[in-house]
């Protein structure tokens, strides 16, 4: 078993209080092996993805508040350098390369956990939200919930699959669709959307990509989208979707947008028995839909929240085989403030991965 020298301090991006500016601290303490509780592990991170959820956590604009001071981040990849004493039946060992997800830990014994909805566990711990996350060089996580990274799969490429990939993979998995069905993906050229296009094609679905701009059109069609609709150019989005789908409407819609308009339209363009997968997490928007037509058309509306441990293993395996690839840009950890600025202004295309200081 490899042995590691664990430093006493590290570099970490800390949000001191809700809505405050990020502080890059070079003297942030590192949890030592003897301080780990049974079931905990210490991971030396190579990189971490940045997600819109991290921005919400830093701003404190969700109905559920994040802890402060906070080290955000929940798409980390690194090596286990220590495991807590008295940890029994650990599925991972020191030296393993693993991923840290939004769901850091759950009890595994409640009804939600037993039914495979670990993310809905009332005792769930959330990386970069209720416990410190991956915007630091060393992070404490939990042996039962870290995800082994397939051998040969690049760490930077794996990072965004741990949240964005798992989230859209699970939503497609539960979208009540069959191969050959039509799925509409509003925001298809974005960080989650461009992965959803690819996972939908792996599932054998026909994809209608909805977004705006020549670059996103090119990206979506290159990734395999069957049809493209520019929401700034269309005169009637609902009618365009119906025209593509033999006048009947799509079988499913996966809405990753953080606004309510994408939800309202979906009820109109879904066919009878269609499924609306609600994935985007706007802090204050309400879901508005015609109750009459939701009932009359037998529409299912399902909330899909990240994924469980098995979803993560499956999503990573697909990406590791090269069937799904994430478009990402690599920056340094100290670029986090400017990345948040870009996200706020809608200027971030694809995903951002931050590499840790060496």
Per-residue pLDDT tens for 94-143? 999 999 999 999 999 999 999 999 999 999 999 999 999 999 999 999 99
Helices marked H in the chain: 52-59, 111-114, 155-159, 164-173, 193-202, 214-222, 237-244, 261-269, 291-296, 309-320, 336-344
Burial of 169 (0-12, 13-18, 19+ CB in 10 A): buried
pLDDT classification of 40: cutoffs 50, 70, 90: very high
The answer to whether 293 touches 320, Cβ cutoff 8 Å, is no
pLDDT classification of 1: cutoffs 50, 70, 90: confident
Dist CA 331 CA 276 (whole Å) = 35
89 pLDDT more than 80: yes
- Fold for the domain defined by 166-303: Rossmann fold (3.40.50)
* Token pair of 21 as six digits: 């500016």
> Which residue shows structure tokens 């995800």?
147
pLDDT at 288: 83
Residue ranges covered by each domain of the chain: 9-162+307-355, 166-303
- Fold for the domain defined by 9-162+307-355: Quinone Oxidoreductase; Chain A, domain 1 (3.90.180)
33 pLDDT more than 70: yes
Per-residue pLDDT tens for 268-294? 999 999 999 999 877 777 888 889 999
The model carries a pTM of: 0.94
- Residues linked to residue 99 through DSSP beta bridges, in sequence order: 77, 147
Percent of the chain with pLDDT over 70: 99
Dist CA 15 CA 26 (whole Å) = 14
- Please give the sequence-ordered ranges of beta strands (E in DSSP) within the chain, or none if there are none: 9-15, 23-29, 40-50, 70-71, 76-83, 97-100, 103-105, 125-126, 138-142, 147-148, 182-186, 206-211, 227-230, 250-255, 270-278, 300-303, 328-332, 351-355
Same fold, 9-162+307-355 and 166-303: no
């Amino acid at each position: 078993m490899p042995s590691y020298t664990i430093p006493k301090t590290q570099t970490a991006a800390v949000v001191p209080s809700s809505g405050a500016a990020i502080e890059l601290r070079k003297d942030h303490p590192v949890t030592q092996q003897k301080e780990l509780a049974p079931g905990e592990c210490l991971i030396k991170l190579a990189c971490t993805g940045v997600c819109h959820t991290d921005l919400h956590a830093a701003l404190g604009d969700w109905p559920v508040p994040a802890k402060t001071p906070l080290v955000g981040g929940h798409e980390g990849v690194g090596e286990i350098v220590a495991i807590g004493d008295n940890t029994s039946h650990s599925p991972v060992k020191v030296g393993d390369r693993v991923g840290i997800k939004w769901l850091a830990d759950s009890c595994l014994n409640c009804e939600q956990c037993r039914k495979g909805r670990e993310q809905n566990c009332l005792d769930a711990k959330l990386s970069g939200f209720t416990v410190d996350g991956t915007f630091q060089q060393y992070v404490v996580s939990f042996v039962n919930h870290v995800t082994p990274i397939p051998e040969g799969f690049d760490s930077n490429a794996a990072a965004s699959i741990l949240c964005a990939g798992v989230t859209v993979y699970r939503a497609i998995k539960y979208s009540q669709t069959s191969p050959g069905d039509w799925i509409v993906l509003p925001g298809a050229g974005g960080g989650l959307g461009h992965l959803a296009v690819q996972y939908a094609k792996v599932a054998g679905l026909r994809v209608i990509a909805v977004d705006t701009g020549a670059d996103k059109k090119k990206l979506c069609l290159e990734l395999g989208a069957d049809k493209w609709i520019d929401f700034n150019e269309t005169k009637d989005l609902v009618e365009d979707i119906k025209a593509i789908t033999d006048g009947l409407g799509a079988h499913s819609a996966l809405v990753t947008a953080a606004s309510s308009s994408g939800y309202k339209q979906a009820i109109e363009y879904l066919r009878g028995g269609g499924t609306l997968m609600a994935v985007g997490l706007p802090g204050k928007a309400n879901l508005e839909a015609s109750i009459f037509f939701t009932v009359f058309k037998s529409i299912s509306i399902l909330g899909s929240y990240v994924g469980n441990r098995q979803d993560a293993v499956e999503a990573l395996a697909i990406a590791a085989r090269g069937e799904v690839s994430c478009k990402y840009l690599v920056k340094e950890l100290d670029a986090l403030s400017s990345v948040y600025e870009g996200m706020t202004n809608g200027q971030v295309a694809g995903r951002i991965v931050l590499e840790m200081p060496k």
